């Protein structure tokens, strides 16, 4: 019995040593560069490509596996002195393709490996993409970044989107609102979740004054309430203190104008009456008597020596 136990223990130790040696050798088979994504941020419906450089440090065959969220999507067999062999892709449900070197790989050779993930959806946002071998720690990985294209919502910009959510190839027709100047622009969503054109709408300074007047006349808030018949009735909001003050001042001005007009009319009547009295008084005044210019009759000189008598002239 003791002999059997001793043999089992020795066999167990040999198994552990064998697995440990395989683990050490497998760790030495590959080294990876950092796995990168192109583009770093992808739009919905586009394609993201994960790429890294692999250095083969082993001498026997080993496998490299691409995974998305721990789901194996593709495997390559790498062996010294041979061209990498691609395995049959499992039914993962992902739309993928891959590539690597078509040359013979020898020990210490470095070669690229890439994985394309097509028709990206928002469900894959932050999904983990990795390339690994069978030994723990033999891995390089990166997370997908997937977004929709966001149309510009700048001041004065009107955007008409062809589809929602706006993904790769989606178009947006930009135009400028009333009171803004600019050209109509058609922008297309790119693979990096950005648009290839940006709208520019500048304020129309010539219409600012008119727009301000219209806005002041139409900016009075209102409330909408439901009536008992299921319809809606629009009621005006209470007047502000400024509006009330304006109405009061306007009424005061109108009253003042009316008073001034009445005073003017009253004064005109008084003046007219006074003038009429003066005119009547002037019309009944007695004229001055004409001066008496009658020449008195000269008396005849009756002196004896005068011209009219016998006398001398006076």
Looking only at the bridges linking them, the beta strands covering 146-147 and 42-43 are: parallel
pLDDT tens track, the chain, 314 positions: 444 544 443 443 444 334 334 444 445 489 999 999 999 999 999 999 999 999 999 889 999 999 999 999 999 999 999 999 999 888 788 999 999 999 999 999 999 999 999 999 999 999 999 999 988 889 999 999 999 999 988 889 999 999 989 999 999 999 999 999 988 999 999 999 999 999 989 988 775 555 554 455 554 443 333 344 444 333 445 667 777 888 989 889 998 899 988 898 888 777 776 666 665 565 555 555 665 555 555 455 555 555 555 544 44
The residues near 62 (Cβ < 8 Å, ≥ 6 apart) are 26, 29, 30, 77, 78, 79, 133, 134
For 28-147, the fitting CATH number among 1.10.3720.10, 1.10.10.1100, 2.60.40.10, 1.10.10.10 is 2.60.40.10
pLDDT of res. 290: 60
Q: Is the dihedral of CA 10, 16, 19, 24 positive or negative?
A: negative
Radius of gyration, CA atoms only, the chain: 57
Place of tokens 């940006």: 198
120, 144 Cβ separation under 8 angstroms? yes
| Of 63, 120, 77, the residue nearest 96 (C-alpha) | 120
CATH of domain 157-206: 2.10.70
Check residue 102 and report its DSSP letter.
-
Looking only at the bridges linking them, the beta strands covering 311-312 and 304-305 are: parallel
Q: In Å, what is the CA distance from 75 to each residue of 23, 119, 206, 258?
A: 20, 21, 67, 99
Q: Can you spell out the DSSP letters for 104-151? A: -B-TT-EEEEEEEE-S--GGGTT-EEEEE-SSTT-EEEEE--EE----
Tokens of 278: 């003066």
Q: Please state the domain extents for the chain.
A: 28-147, 157-206
Place of tokens 């989606």: 170
In SS3 terms, 185-218 reads as EEEEECCCCCECCCCCCEECHHHHHHHHHHHHHH
Q: Judge if pTM exceeds 0.85.
A: no
161, 176 Cβ separation under 8 angstroms? no
Q: Where are the alpha helices (DSSP H) in the chain?
A: 2-27, 208-218, 241-283
pLDDT of res. 114: 97
pLDDT of res. 259: 92
| Of 312, 290, 308, the residue nearest 299 (C-alpha) | 308
Whether omega for the bond prior to residue 39 falls within 30 degrees of 0, making it cis, is yes
pLDDT of res. 208: 55
């Amino acid at each position: 019995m003791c002999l059997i136990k001793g043999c089992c223990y020795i066999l167990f130790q040999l198994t552990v040593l064998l697995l440990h040696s395989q683990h050490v050798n497998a760790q030495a088979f590959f080294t990876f560069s950092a796995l990168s994504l192109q583009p770093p941020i992808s739009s919905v419906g586009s394609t993201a490509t994960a790429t890294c450089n692999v250095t083969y440090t082993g001498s026997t065959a080993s496998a490299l596996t691409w995974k998305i969220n721990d789901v194996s999507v593709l495997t390559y067999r790498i062996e010294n002195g041979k061209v990498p062999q691609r395995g049959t892709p499992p039914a993962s449900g992902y739309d993928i393709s891959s590539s690597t070197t078509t040359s013979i790989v020898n020990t210490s050779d470095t070669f690229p490996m890439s994985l394309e993930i097509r028709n990206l959806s928002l469900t894959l946002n932050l999904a983990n993409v990795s390339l690994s071998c069978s030994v723990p720690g033999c891995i390089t990985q990166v997370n997908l970044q997937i977004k929709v294209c966001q149309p510009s919502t700048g001041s004065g910009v009107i955007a008409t989107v062809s589809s929602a959510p706006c993904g790769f190839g989606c178009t947006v027709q930009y135009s400028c609102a009333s009171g803004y100047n600019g050209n109509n622009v058609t922008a297309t969503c790119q693979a990096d979740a950005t648009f290839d054109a940006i709208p520019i709408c500048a304020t129309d300074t010539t219409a600012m004054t008119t727009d301000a007047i219209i806005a002041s006349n139409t900016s009075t808030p209102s409330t909408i309430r439901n009536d008992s018949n299921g319809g809606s009735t629009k009621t005006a909001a209470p007047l502000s203190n400024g509006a009330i003050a304006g109405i009061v001042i306007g009424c005061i001005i109108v009253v003042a104008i009316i008073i001034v007009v009445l005073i003017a009319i009253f004064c005109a009547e008084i003046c007219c009456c006074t003038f009429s009295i003066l005119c009547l008084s002037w019309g009944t005044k007695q004229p001055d008597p004409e001066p008496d210019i009658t020449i008195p009759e000269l008396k005849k000189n009756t002196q004896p020596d005068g011209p009219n008598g016998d006398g001398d002239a006076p």
